Amino acid sequence: MSNVESLHLVSATPMSCVGILLAAGEGQRFAQQAPGADKLMTRLADGRYVAETSAANLHRSVDWVVAVVRPGRPALRACLEMSGCHVLETELASQGMGASLAAAAHYLLTRDPEQLPAVVVALADMPWIRRDTYEKVKAALHEAPVVAPVRHGRRGHPVGFRATCLPELASLSGDQGARGLFDRHPVQWFDVDDDGVLHDVDVPADLVGPQDLDSL
């Protein structure tokens, strides 16, 4: 990853910031190895659900969280609502991450067009991202319209976007995600010492988080 900078947190005027938690994936690889299991509703070592932990970590650093789910997931929806999320169901979730992100951006654009927030986009299957990483992403939005952490030279999650990016996010489709915005806008990359930005739950073996691996 080129042009990686160290981020120095500075005092700045607070901006409205909403978390978008993408929780609409099918989790097919996890289910193949654990038939009938929903990875987002699988418990971690501390007894909390994967989705519950991801939502809580994001919620601590933003004003509020909108979580995107596919229809027919009542247990997941209830879990996220109990975690304080506004849950948005979309039939388009089966088309991919881009469609889910577009649904959330469209919701924010139409909810209050006069008070558009910046957004921090996180994945519900990444429960080990530290609070200080979320805070750094939010702070970096004062420096650039698109921001992302870097660990070991790899781009991680979450990613942040200023409010001016919401129309572009709302136009996404399929599984393209937001990669195009990284090409069209100045990006603030910054190094973190948080392995959680790269560690997702893809298969049951991934339920051992990076902190747990360090202690083995």
Work out the pLDDT band at 211, boundaries 50, 70, 90. low
For the entire predicted model, the pTM comes to: 0.90
R_g over Cα of the chain: 16
Question: From CA 84, how far away is CA 66, in angstroms rounded?
Answer: 9
All structural domains of the chain with their residue ranges: 15-200
Residue 3 confidence (pLDDT): 47
Q: pLDDT tens, 148-162? A: 999 999 999 999 999
Structure tokens at 165: 């990016």
* 19 SS3 class: strand
pLDDT at 11 over 50: no
Average pLDDT value for residue range 39-55? 96
Cα–chain-centroid distance for residue 154? 16
Q: What are residue 151's phi and psi, to 5 degrees?
A: -135, 125
Q: Which helix (H) or strand (E) holds 210?
A: helix 210-214
Strands (E) in 139-204, as ranges, are: 146-151, 154-155, 159-161, 187-191
Q: Which fold has domain 15-200?
A: Spore Coat Polysaccharide Biosynthesis Protein SpsA; Chain A (3.90.550)
Work out the pLDDT band at 174, boundaries 50, 70, 90. confident
Single-letter amino acid code for the residue at 88? L
Residue 7 confidence (pLDDT): 44
